[in-house]
């Protein structure tokens, strides 16, 4: 009987039951990163030789379902979403990454790495855009909060489409704002 290798993982978190799961070897790092985003720590990792049928069943499983947070209707936790915003100052688009957390959004830019923010991505997204002289709506935080709430029941692709719309709106505003720099000559 042919055997294949899978990895058995156990994660712990204070005040929670241990989480056990089986994954393919190539998914171990992604599972660890995902678990860490929920505050879990890897307790043990074992290599298991299993029949091909068991391997195929393991391959079909979504490792995110191992974690109880998914059962509390918190979807897209740990997922990254992109804002692609035009900068008149630099003449090109820059990317702003927002990673969904249980509390809000972590913001990553050229100058920030995973800065923890609330559902409004505050204060980091506004500070980043202001620092780059990008015009944006004063209520951007409310839009990001609405997207966070919607992401509870929407697919990652649907949520990213909201970020595309927001990117387009901000970029259009930035591209069409007047440039009064010529008046200083």
- Domain range 80-181, its CATH number among 3.40.190.10, 3.30.2210.10, 1.10.10.10, 3.40.47.10: 3.30.2210.10
Residues 6+ apart with CB under 8 A from 101: 37, 77, 78, 116
pLDDT value at residue 174: 94
Domain boundaries, the chain: 3-72, 80-181
> By C-alpha distance, which of 101, 183, 86 is closest to 144?
101
In this structure, what token pair is assigned to residue 161?
């489409």
pLDDT value at residue 66: 79
Please provide residue 115's backbone torsions phi and psi, each rounded to the nearest 5 degrees: -70, 125
pLDDT value at residue 154: 87
**pLDDT by 10-residue block (mean), the chain, 185 residues:** 90 87 90 86 93 86 72 78 95 95 93 92 94 92 93 91 96 90 60
């Amino acid at each position: 009987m042919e055997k294949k290798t899978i990895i058995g993982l156990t994660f712990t978190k204070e005040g929670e039951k241990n989480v056990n799961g089986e994954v393919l070897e190539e998914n171990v790092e992604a599972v660890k990163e995902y678990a860490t985003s929920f505050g879990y720590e890897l307790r043990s990792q074992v290599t298991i030789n299993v029949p091909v049928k068991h391997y195929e069943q393991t391959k079909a499983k979504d490792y995110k379902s191992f974690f109880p947070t998914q059962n509390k209707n918190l979807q897209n936790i740990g997922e990254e979403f992109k804002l692609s915003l035009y900068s008149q100052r630099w003449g090109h688009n820059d990317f702003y990454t927002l990673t969904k957390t249980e509390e809000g959004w972590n913001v990553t830019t050229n100058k920030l790495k995973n800065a923890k923010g609330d559902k409004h991505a505050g204060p980091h997204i506004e500070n980043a855009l202001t620092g780059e002289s990008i015009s944006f709506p004063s209520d951007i935080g409310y839009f990001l909060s609405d997207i966070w709430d919607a992401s509870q029941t929407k697919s990652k692709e649907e949520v990213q489409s909201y970020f595309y719309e927001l990117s387009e709106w901000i970029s259009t505003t930035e591209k069409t704002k007047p440039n009064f720099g010529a008046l200083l000559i």
